[in-house]
Amino acid sequence: MSVFSGMSRPMKAAGVALVGVAIIAAVIGGITALGGGDGSNEAGPSGTPTQPGSSSVPPSTSSSATPPSTSTTAGSSSPTPSPTSPAPGGPGSTAPGQPGQPGQPGGDQQASNKWVTVRVFNNSTIKGLADRAAEDFRGAGWNVNEVSNYSQGIIPTTTAYYRPGTDEEAAAKQLAQEFGIKAEPRFEGIQSASPGVIVIVTKEYQSGHKGS
């Protein structure tokens, strides 16, 4: 016998509708259970709350993530200086006019020659002539450290002697220009003498005389 026996037609229709609703509810509940409604996204003693950006994002969306930008941001567009490019004025700079560069005069070149040792020798019969000449040279800033006589021969005129290719050459030529005397390379008799400009004064030397 059917469960609907003894019921009127309207009641039978209502009962069929309720049974259909129950079946549909059961089907929906089963789909929900199979679709992951196991409560794993809820906080509880046996679970951890799902954090934003967790594995709840479908895997298919991870492939569309934008790679890190390689474009130049504001303030970073300046090119990095080449390690081989010297900074202006720094080490390796070839800018002209820098003091102390090789081949360039630094300071007063004439004054720099006066540190060279000068030795004065009298080759005349005038007593004290070498002393007077030495005082003249010292008064002009020259480094005179010896005064004596030269009796190994006759020197024709007062001359400043130097060793070619040394600092003595520039110093002797400058001294000769200042005092109106000659400047020549050392001759045989004084080749082995101590370093420095050797000035041999003769009778025509005029104390205090200076050339242009």
75: its two tokens: 């303030």
Q: Has residue 197 been placed in a domain? A: yes
Q: Has residue 37 been placed in a domain? A: no
Percent of the chain with pLDDT over 70: 50
Number of domains in the chain: 2
Q: Has residue 40 been placed in a domain? A: no
Q: Which domain holds residue 24?
A: 1-32
SS3 193: coil
Q: Has residue 153 been placed in a domain? A: yes
The alpha carbon of 185 is separated from its chain's Cα centroid by a whole number of angstroms, namely 46
Residue-wise pLDDT tens digits, 76-134: 444 444 444 444 444 343 333 333 333 334 446 667 799 999 999 999 999 999 999 99
Q: Has residue 16 been placed in a domain? A: yes
Residue-wise pLDDT tens digits, 47-81: 444 444 444 444 444 444 444 444 444 444 444 44
Burial per residue of 26-47, b for 16 or more beta-carbon CB atoms within 10 angstroms, e otherwise: eeeeeeeeeeeeeeeeeeeeee
Q: Has residue 130 been placed in a domain? A: yes
Gap between the Cα atoms of 70 and 58, Å rounded: 27
pTM: 0.49
Contact 174, 143 (CB under 8 A): no
CATH classification at residue 186: 3.30.70.2390
Of the candidates 70, 73, 199, the residue with the CA atom closest to the CA atom of residue 129: 199
Q: Has residue 191 been placed in a domain? A: yes
Q: Has residue 89 been placed in a domain? A: no
